[in-house]
Amino acid sequence: MASDIDTATPEPGRRFGLQGLRARIAAALGHREELPTRAASAETPSLLRRRRSATRRYSPLTRRILLLNIIPVALLTLGAVYLSDYEEELIDAELASLAVQGEMVAAGIGEVAVAGGETTVNRLDADAARQLLTRLVRPTGVRARLFSETGELLGDSAILSDASRIHVMPLPPPQDIPAVEPHWGEKIGDWIARQLSRVDRFPEYVERAVPTVRDFPEAASALRGFNASAVRVSPDGMLILSAAVPVQRYKQVLGALMLTRDNRAIAASLREVRYDMMVIAAAALGITVLLSLYLAGTITQPIVRLARAADDVRLARESRPEIPDLGKRGDEIGDLNDALRSMTDALWQRINTIESFAADVAHELKNPLTSLRSAIEVAARPNLEPERREKLMGIVLDDINRLNRLITDISEASRLDAELMRGEVKQVDLNALLGDMVNHYAVTAVQKGGVEVEYRLATNPPFLAHGHDGRYGQVFRNVIDNAISFSPPGSKIVVELGRAPRGGPFIVTIDDQGPGIPEDNLESIFERFYSERPTEHFGQHSGLGLSICRQIMETYGGAISASNRRAPPDGAGGGRVLGARFTVRVPAGDGRK
């Protein structure tokens, strides 16, 4: 369907309304009017947004969804990297393990490597203690130092420096065997561990050639009979864990045993945990990205489709584009799709109505204009008789009045929708409205055509209706005026107010005693510009009155219809038409159902 009222760029030479009329007048007067260029008028906000979206590489909404969904995974990754509390627990567990192991070794030394008895002075047997220390501690990979009760070093599992003993020194690997490079994952893990390790809170570990108990506060505490532990940092950044326990015999402290171990096992455990959590985080990240892309696709793609369809509808001229049907989604986008489809249907209906209305207006205006032109052309002849010229001028005046009435009714019909939407809906007293109107017609109707207007009340109060008194008055005036125009002199028009049973709408009937309405035209009389009247009333009505009445009633939820009153089939009249009846159903506004 071609439409020239959309928001697309108008083509040159196809201007309508006041703008086109102004352009023609300016051209006729020789003035140039600066008109907006096609490119400038086409730069609407919607097209600018569409052009900008065409240059986007990625969807902004997709990026936002990805960012919001990746943040929890990133927090999980940071938690996997920063395992400070877990590292503290491992250090405490390792110190407790060293303390338990030290107590076991110290108990063995106290039982085996002590000279003396229960009644004599006990002292440590240095040779036996060193032998036992070597057997018990060396297989575990822990370094053990044994201090005497005076604080001197009696033995070291790493270096046994007695004259009669073999010196055990770790040898470097052979030069021809290349060192094994750690795995890249281990390098990354060690680097992360060094960056996150809070080594500055621990004291520095100093390796002395001949250490004493004064170099190790925990060993001094063990000589006083208390278990103690400490954590230090070696020059290469490795943690040294140490635990010291007293060596006792019959509650007598004979020395102190200190066990030390580095944090290689802790670092390996942290590395494994970080690796596992990184794998989980990577898997979660991959799943999150895929699900986010899927979610973004289910949101952005329908929105993009709807935006393109909206632009197609806006720019359509020769055909009617269809909005994609996404109503089966059952979500907010489906609701938006249904709303857009309903809006588009209403828009196209309005466009069709406007086009049809414009065509009807052009047709209705053409008839009086043609008659007016013919009358003026004949009246302009110089040799025309004065009587005939006077008659033609009367025709001209009638056509002008007809045009004026037609334009007024067209203007009223064209702005009726907007006024009905903006109008305030309130309670209307139908009894008072109809009573005042009938009292007015009781005088004017008799003066115009000798027709009597009678009012009857067939319901009980309240008489409150839902709507607007001015618009309802317009409906009843149009119907009564229409009945007067068809009623013969001396006849009666009866206006009756009733109500449907069970608190239904009010029913207002207007009965006349005219010729009635052809059965085929009971609905067509409510169409625009329909007019079928007696000869003496020709040109006095535009044919829009009943159409406006139906439009008003449907807006307020009511209805209007037409029928014929007939005599009983078995009576004297034999079912003849007694007149027309218009039935107006007005929605009740008193709250009763």
- pLDDT tens across 481-513, in order? 888 888 888 888 999 999 988 878 999 999 998
Residue 141 sits in a domain of what CATH number?
3.30.450.20
Do 245 and 256 contact (CB within 8 A), yes or no? yes
What average pLDDT does range 231-237 have in this prediction? 85
Binned at pLDDT 50, 70 and 90, residue 585 comes out as very high
Q: Is the pLDDT of residue 239 over 70?
A: yes
Size (the chain), residues: 593
Share of the chain above pLDDT 90, in %: 10
Distance CA 459, CA 543 (A): 33
Q: Is the pLDDT of residue 367 over 80?
A: no
18 and 154 share one domain: no
Q: Is the pLDDT of residue 261 over 80?
A: yes
Residue 229 pLDDT = 92
Do 227 and 243 contact (CB within 8 A), yes or no? yes
φ, ψ dihedrals at 529, nearest 5°:
65, 15
Q: Is the pLDDT of residue 318 over 90?
A: no
129 and 7 share one domain: no
98 and 242 share one domain: yes
Closest CA to 81 of 349, 276, 327: 276
Place of tokens 């009597």: 452
222 and 126 share one domain: yes
Encode pLDDT of 58-93 as tens digits: 677 777 777 877 787 777 777 666 666 777 888 899
102 and 187 share one domain: yes
Q: Which has more confidence, 223 or 197?
A: 223
Q: Is the pLDDT of residue 36 over 50?
A: no
Phi-psi category of residue 31: left, alpha or beta, with phi > 0 → left and psi -120 to 50 → alpha: beta
Residue 199 falls inside a structural domain: yes
Residue 512 falls inside a structural domain: yes
Which runs of consecutive H residues, i.e. helices, occur in 511-569? Answer: 545-555
Residue 134 falls inside a structural domain: yes
Q: Output the DSSP codes for 79-115.
A: HHH--HHHHHHHHHHHHHHHHHHHHHHHHHHHHHSEE
Q: Which structural domain range is residue 512 located in?
A: 424-586
Q: Which of 262, 278, 305 is the last residue of a domain?
A: 262
What average pLDDT does range 108-126 have in this prediction? 77
Place of tokens 């229409």: 482
Distance CA 491, CA 445 (A): 11
Residue 321 falls inside a structural domain: no
497 and 579 share one domain: yes
Binned at pLDDT 50, 70 and 90, residue 169 comes out as low
Residue 348 falls inside a structural domain: no
Residue 312 falls inside a structural domain: no
506 and 573 share one domain: yes
Q: Which of 262, 278, 307 is the last residue of a domain?
A: 262
Which residues are CB-neighbours of 49 under 8 A, at least 6 positions away?
A: none
Encode pLDDT of 396-455 as tens digits: 887 787 777 777 767 766 666 666 666 667 888 999 999 988 888 877 766 666 788 899
Residue 441 pLDDT = 83
Residue 99 pLDDT = 92
Residue 544 sits in a domain of what CATH number?
3.30.565.10
Encode pLDDT of 505-527 as tens digits: 999 999 998 888 888 888 888 87
The number of folded domains in the chain is 3
Q: What is the mean pLDDT of the chain?
A: 75
37 and 91 share one domain: no
Closest CA to 468 of 503, 424, 404, 434: 424
Encode pLDDT of 520-566 as tens digits: 888 888 877 666 654 444 445 556 778 888 888 888 889 999 999 88
What is the Cβ-side half-sphere exposure of residue 267, based on CA atoms within 13 angstroms? 22
Q: Is the pLDDT of residue 222 over 70?
A: yes
20 and 91 share one domain: no
Structure tokens that stand for 28 in this block: 């006729």
The sheet with strand 492-499 has its strands ordered as 452-457, 492-499, 506-511, 577-586, 559-566
479 and 566 share one domain: yes
Residue 247's H or E segment, with its range, is strand 239-249
233 and 148 share one domain: yes
Q: Is the pLDDT of residue 157 over 80?
A: yes
Closest CA to 183 of 272, 262, 266: 272
17 and 104 share one domain: no
Residue 363 falls inside a structural domain: no
Residue 429, classed as helix, strand or coil, is strand
Which residues are CB-neighbours of 45 under 8 A, at least 6 positions away?
A: none
Phi-psi category of residue 591: left, alpha or beta, with phi > 0 → left and psi -120 to 50 → alpha: left
Binned at pLDDT 50, 70 and 90, residue 574 comes out as low
Closest CA to 268 of 206, 203, 201, 183: 183
Residue 522 falls inside a structural domain: yes
Encode pLDDT of 177-206 as tens digits: 455 555 665 666 566 666 666 666 788 888
Give the predicted TM-score (pTM) of the model: 0.46
Which residues are CB-neighbours of 591 under 8 A, at least 6 positions away?
A: none
The DSSP output letter for 204 is: B
Q: How far is residue 550 CA from its own chain's centroid? A: 39
Which residues are CB-neighbours of 593 under 8 A, at least 6 positions away?
A: 502, 503
φ, ψ dihedrals at 371, nearest 5°:
-65, -40
Q: How do beta strands 452-457 and 492-499 pair? A: parallel
Q: Which of 246, 262, 278 is the last residue of a domain?
A: 262
